[in-house]
Chain A
Amino acid sequence: MSSPRTFALVGNPNTGKTTLFNALTGLRQKVANYPGVTVEKKTGTGRNRHGEAFTVIDLPGAYSLDAKSPDEEVTRAVLHGERADTPQPDAVICLVDAGNLERHLYLATQVMELGLPVIVVVNKTDAAEARGITIATQKLTERLGVPVVPMQANERVGMEALQVALSAEPVKANWKPVEGDTAARYVAIGELLEGAVARSDEERLTPSDRWDRVLVHPVLGWLVLLGILGGLFFTLFSLAGIPMDLIEGAFGWLGGQVEARMAPGDLRALITEGIIGGVGGVVIFLPQILILFFFIGLMENTGYLARVSFMMDRLMAGVGLNGKAFVPLLSSYACAIPGIMATRTMESARDRLITTLIAPITSCSARLPVYVMLIALMLPVGTAGQKALVMLGLYVLSIIGVYAFAYVFNRTLARQEQTLFVLELPAYQRPSWREIGLQMYDRGKIFLRRAGTLILGLSIVLWALTTYPKSDSEDGSEQLAQSYAGKLGHAIEPVIEPLGYDWKMGIGLVASFAAREVFVSTMSIIYLGEEADDDSVRNRMANETRADGKPAYNVRTCLSLLVFYVFAMQCLSTVAVTRRETNSWRWAILQVVYLTGFAYLAALATYQISGFFV
């Protein structure tokens, strides 16, 4: 039996390749309504009308085969059969946007010239028709001698016609190689399209154009963005309370069951305080994570995030940051690791380095549990609106940090010629609830997997550090002070005291250098182990007092901690990825030192200056 046929999916960024890939293979790769989401090739399997399996390779978006960035190089190399890990495809599915046919055929005609059989998919025909553009795909089929299939991949319209093409023997295009420069190619494309593309005489103002008058307006656009973020955080604080209590109750019940079935002892304490307390302390923030990714998915899916990138680009140019940094920085709001990986879409090594260095300042989702816990302690009787406002302030602070450090690095690192950033604003589209739901599911799964692996492991280690060596005292507080973690907390207390922190916070601070949310699990372990009453960890922390009887988690201390967490580089995985992507320990160490150093100074300033007001 012959091996399955291999098709490569090729097209400009944001033409819907990954959407089509998912439709063909039934897989769930991440899709978004902005360019640069696919930075590595992905492979999946589908079946044609005869039930025969075929392989699909989803390649990163490229504007041409003259590779300029590392991800474009992947596309070029696969098509030329130069990748040892990937066979040269048997045929290529060239995806072109119906609304920008001339420009997208630039790449498609280059692919045809490689001599590989081709199927042309004209995607987003609905959006083009809304703008008064009609394409006679039958004429193009006759001229090129290959299938030209009109589609709306997101609605799966045209899948049947594509399946017919995939089931037939692949054929090479009837296309003569273009001699000469870019202009000559556009002339040849113009001849191909002669009489095949009809445009209405008057330029229609599409609904997208009308929305854009407000949403990318230099003043109104920012107000709308702030309003949306405010709404997101308000929802976060007002809706998440009930499911959080339910999860907390479930972990409490689990701990109670273990206590009822096991005799008192070290292992029981490890299970109830270390494992259930530590992991449960983090897992209760699952509702917030899901709400955050619901909003991000909604903004991505409708095309609104591309508008945000347009507005950000104006600011980015001001600090010398390449507009292409937007996608990596946006990805970093979920997690800095895929963000740093996404810098591969950038042509200039210097731009890649600057973006990598500043990516951890964006407020990743691991910070969310820390922020929510500290804001709740800071404003114990505050409304959801007040809490949302503080959260908004933290996100704005992180954006200011990103721009400020981009400016600093742009001024200090050796200059290079600026590369051009072409930003294409996709048409707004109705959100796909399925895509948003799947993204929430994926992100929720990642969050729980992290809680069940890394956070679980670190919680066990932290429990040991707060338990050993054992003291003779029966008092939990005394025991903690005598432990390795307690001694470490006391040792660093002089350094962190000016920031308003006590030695217990110091333990959490040091532990969270492994991963930010470990601060939350550490606090759970410390406060669960310390006292024998049934009060929740949150209440115990709220009731914690200093020697002078004042609350330990007062407004000044919480503000100082929040500012520290906005800037501090507390993620070992990010350090490892920075080292891997820059191929140097030098930049990874610089990242840790400059971010943590700045976080210390910013937290110090916050605590000391807030003393004049609070």
Chain B
Amino acid sequence: MNDWQTWAAPAVVIATVAVLVWKNVRSEKETACDKECGCENRNE
């Protein structure tokens, strides 16, 4: 077992959760369509 991997994996998980929460909070403020489903206005 590699010790550094034991703490690195949870660090990646925590960073991922932070990004997911941040993106979710930010998308709440947007009024345009959701980018994931391809209806954003690409040219505005």
Q: Give the interface of A toward B (CB within 8 A).
A: 25, 27, 29, 40, 42-44, 263-270, 334-338, 341, 442-443, 446, 449-450, 453-454, 457-458, 460-461, 463-464, 467-468, 573, 576-577, 580
Q: Known: A43-B44, A267-B12, A576-B28. Is A335-B37 also a contact (CB below 8 A)? A: yes
Identity of the chain B residue whose Cβ is nearest the Cβ of A459 in the assembled complex: B16
Among B4, B34, B38, B42, find the residue whose CB has the most chain A CB atoms closer than 10 A: B38
- A583: min CB distance to chain B, Å: 11
A337–B27 alpha-carbon span in the complex (Å): 14
Instruction: Convert B31-44 into 0s and 1s, putting 1 for each residue whose CB lies closer than 8 angstroms to a CB of A.
Output: 10111111101111
**Which A residues are CB-close (under 8 A) to B43?**
25, 27, 29, 42-44
Among A43, A263, A269, A460, find the residue whose CB has the most chain B CB atoms closer than 10 A: A460
- B6: min CB distance to chain A, Å: 5
List CB contacts (< 8 Å) of B1-31 with chain A.
1-2, 4-6, 8-10, 12-13, 16-17, 19-20, 27-28, 31
Residue contact A266 to B36, C-beta cutoff 8 Å: no
Residue contact B37 to A573, C-beta cutoff 8 Å: yes
**Which A residues are CB-close (under 8 A) to B13?**
270, 460-461, 463-464
Residue contact A337 to B9, C-beta cutoff 8 Å: no
Residue contact B37 to A267, C-beta cutoff 8 Å: no
A-B contacts, 21 of them at CB < 8 A, read A25-B43, A29-B42, A29-B43, A42-B42, A43-B43, A265-B6, A266-B6, A267-B12, A269-B9, A336-B37, A337-B39, A338-B38, A442-B38, A457-B16, A460-B12, A461-B13, A461-B20, A464-B13, A573-B34, A576-B27, A576-B34
Residue contact B9 to A267, C-beta cutoff 8 Å: yes
- B42: min CB distance to chain A, Å: 7
A529–B41 alpha-carbon span in the complex (Å): 40
A324–B3 alpha-carbon span in the complex (Å): 61
Q: Known: A267-B8, A267-B12, A580-B31. Is A457-B36 also a contact (CB below 8 A)? A: no
A268–B4 alpha-carbon span in the complex (Å): 11
A436–B38 alpha-carbon span in the complex (Å): 16
Q: Known: A42-B43, A267-B12, A457-B20. Is A338-B37 also a contact (CB below 8 A)? A: yes
**Which A residues are CB-close (under 8 A) to B19?**
457
A300–B2 alpha-carbon span in the complex (Å): 55
Q: Known: A40-B41, A270-B9, A576-B28. Is A337-B33 also a contact (CB below 8 A)? A: yes
Identity of the chain B residue whose Cβ is nearest the Cβ of A335 in the assembled complex: B37
**Which B residues are CB-close (under 8 A) to A458?**
20
Residue contact B41 to A270, C-beta cutoff 8 Å: no
A266–B12 alpha-carbon span in the complex (Å): 11
Q: Give the interface of B toward A (CB within 8 A).
A: 1-2, 4-6, 8-10, 12-13, 16-17, 19-20, 27-28, 31, 33-39, 41-44
**Which A residues are CB-close (under 8 A) to B36?**
335, 337, 446, 449-450, 453-454, 573
A336–B20 alpha-carbon span in the complex (Å): 21
Q: Known: A266-B9, A338-B33. Is A443-B16 also a contact (CB below 8 A)? A: no
5 nearest CB pairs, A to B: A265-B5, A266-B9, A338-B39, A335-B37, A265-B2
Residue contact A446 to B38, C-beta cutoff 8 Å: yes
A550–B21 alpha-carbon span in the complex (Å): 41
Residue contact B6 to A337, C-beta cutoff 8 Å: no
Residue contact B5 to A335, C-beta cutoff 8 Å: no
Residue contact A337 to B34, C-beta cutoff 8 Å: yes
A457–B16 alpha-carbon span in the complex (Å): 6
A442–B43 alpha-carbon span in the complex (Å): 15
A338–B36 alpha-carbon span in the complex (Å): 10
- A23: min CB distance to chain B, Å: 15
A453–B36 alpha-carbon span in the complex (Å): 9
A44–B41 alpha-carbon span in the complex (Å): 11
**Which B residues are CB-close (under 8 A) to A336?**
37
Residue contact B1 to A265, C-beta cutoff 8 Å: yes
**Which B residues are CB-close (under 8 A) to A27?**
42-43
Q: Known: A270-B13, A457-B20, A460-B13. Is A335-B38 also a contact (CB below 8 A)? A: yes
Residue contact B16 to A577, C-beta cutoff 8 Å: no
- A29: min CB distance to chain B, Å: 8
- A485: min CB distance to chain B, Å: 13
- B31: min CB distance to chain A, Å: 7
Residue contact B41 to A42, C-beta cutoff 8 Å: yes
Residue contact A263 to B33, C-beta cutoff 8 Å: no
**Which B residues are CB-close (under 8 A) to A468?**
10
**Which B residues are CB-close (under 8 A) to A450?**
36
**Which A residues are CB-close (under 8 A) to B38?**
334-335, 338, 442-443, 446
A269–B12 alpha-carbon span in the complex (Å): 12
| Cross-chain contact of A341 among B27, B28, B39 (Cβ < 8 A) | B39
- B16: min CB distance to chain A, Å: 4
Q: Known: A43-B44, A461-B17. Is A266-B8 also a contact (CB below 8 A)? A: yes
Identity of the chain B residue whose Cβ is nearest the Cβ of A439 in the assembled complex: B38
Q: Known: A266-B8, A334-B37, A573-B37. Is A461-B16 also a contact (CB below 8 A)? A: yes
Residue contact A42 to B39, C-beta cutoff 8 Å: no
**Which B residues are CB-close (under 8 A) to A266?**
5-6, 8-10
- A444: min CB distance to chain B, Å: 11
- A148: min CB distance to chain B, Å: 28
A573–B27 alpha-carbon span in the complex (Å): 10
A44–B44 alpha-carbon span in the complex (Å): 8
